[in-house]
Structures are given as structure tokens and as C-alpha cells.
Amino acid sequence: MTDAALRLTDSHCHLDFPDFDGEHAALIDRARAAGVGRMVTICTRLRQEPAVRALAKAHDGVFYAVGTHPMSVADEPMATVDQLVALADHPKFVAIGETGLDYHYTADSAQAQQDSLRIHIQAARLTRLPLIIHARDADDDMARILAEEHRAGAYSCVMHCFSSTPALAQAALDLGFYLSMSGIAAFPRSQDLRDIFAAAPLDRILVETDSPYLAPPPHRGRRNEPAYVAHTAAVGAQLFGLSLPEFAARTEANFDRLFWKAAR
């Protein structure tokens, strides 16, 4: 899927994962050929930040974010606000996270996840950078903490790879946050999720791959990569009754507004 007029950003991918070892240049070339000129690669453990930073520095159009993934909180030293704020000085560091809550496999660390989430929110406030949220099977606690913290001091946020309930979507939108479409929204059985996105304001929608995971059709079941965000964007365009270039332009404007350090 290519279009000379198409401009997209993969707002969430994991280019440092072993799935892509030795392929970064070719991977980025394929993304650009598909109209994907920018990528935000996500560091999920603070100790891996130097390698992720080096990857972003080495490639034009690649930016990065750093946080402790909720599923890793029990196995990693607790991040501090000062650590995150200091890392954010780098010009290609554009967001805090991913952080959040995941009770699907790691409910035993729920309290530590909540503590970590609040630390990341404080860093997002201090840096004015957007927060990247991962939420799975923790909707009530997630909505409560996001609202409590927002009352304590405003911050910006994207619900990455959103695939939760309409209630959590509305709670996030009510706080002024963004919802990001991943390949899940393109799966045939995801009509309920597509309905959630279709009901959201167009100026709060982003697109992502979460690669190497969650490849959209026609690549489902294989390794995902940033070029494939164009397939998810095509589904978004259909939901909002727009052409693909028009939908892409709207999501680009949304990305620039939220990820202001990576704005074109």
C-alpha cells in the first residue's frame, strides 16, 4: 500500500526488540516507501534506554520514549521521577512510557504497577511530554488513577493500542486524552472496538503498529513492522468516511499536537 501523497506516523513500535536485529535500515526504508516517515520506538525497561536512544539517534524520523512497562515492574528497579525527567532532556526523547496497568498476567504486582504509573504521570507533568498508557484488564483502577492524577495537575496522554471498554475510552476522552488504533482494530472480529473509535472525536485519534506484535490484515499472524500502519490507517479512514490521505493528514496533525517534540 503506497501513495505519494500519504504521510503517516507509527506512534508506537519496538524497534529495539530482537525481532528486528540487523534489519533497521531496511525496515525504515520499507516504512518510508509506505508513507510512514516517523516512528516512535518505545523503551520498556530503563536499563535499555542507551540502546534505544542510539537507535533513534542513528535514523532520521525515529524518535523514542522511555518507561517501565507494567508487566516488568516487579522485575525492574522502580523508576524515579528524577530519572525520567533527566532522560527527557534528549531532543529525540518525545514521551514518557509506556507505563500503565496490566492485570491479565501480572495482577500480583498491581500495587507496584499503580505506584509506578503515578511516578510516570508526575514525570509527564514536569516535562510536559505526553504519557503513553498500556491498559489491560484493569479498567476501573486505570480510570480512577488517571482522573485522580489529572485533578492533581493536568498532563497529556495517549491510550496506546486501545482495546478496552467504551467506559475507559470515554473516561480518557473526557480528560482530553487520545486513543491509538493498532492492528487489532483491523481484525475481522473487532467491530465493537471499531465502534468505539468511530464514536470518538477525529482530533483524538492516532495510529500505531505496536510492532513486532499485532500485524493487521493482510499480514496478521506474521511479524508486524512500521510500514503496516498504513493498513490500520485505511480502516480508520473507512470509519470516518475519509480518503486514506485525508485520514492520515488528520492523524498527523493529532500526533504533532500531542508529541510536540517530534512535530514536523
b/e per residue 181-213 (b: at least 16 CB within 10 A): bbbbbbbeebeebbebbbebebebbbbbbbbbb
Which residues share a beta bridge with 43?
66
User: 19 labelled as ligand-binding?
Assistant: no
Q: What are phi and psi of 177, to 5 degrees?
A: -85, 175
Cell of 6: 500519504
Rounded CA gap, 199 and 194, in Å?
A: 9
Does 231 belong to an annotated binding site? no
Q: Is 24 annotated as a binding residue?
A: no
20 closest CA partner among 59, 75, 74: 59
Q: How far apart are CA 133 and CA 30, in angstroms?
A: 27
Backbone angles phi, psi at 122, to 5 degrees: -60, -40
Q: Annotation-wise, does 160 bind a ligand? A: yes
Binding site, by residue number, is 12, 14, 98, 134, 160, 210
Binding site for a divalent metal cation, by residue number, is 12, 14, 98, 134, 160, 210
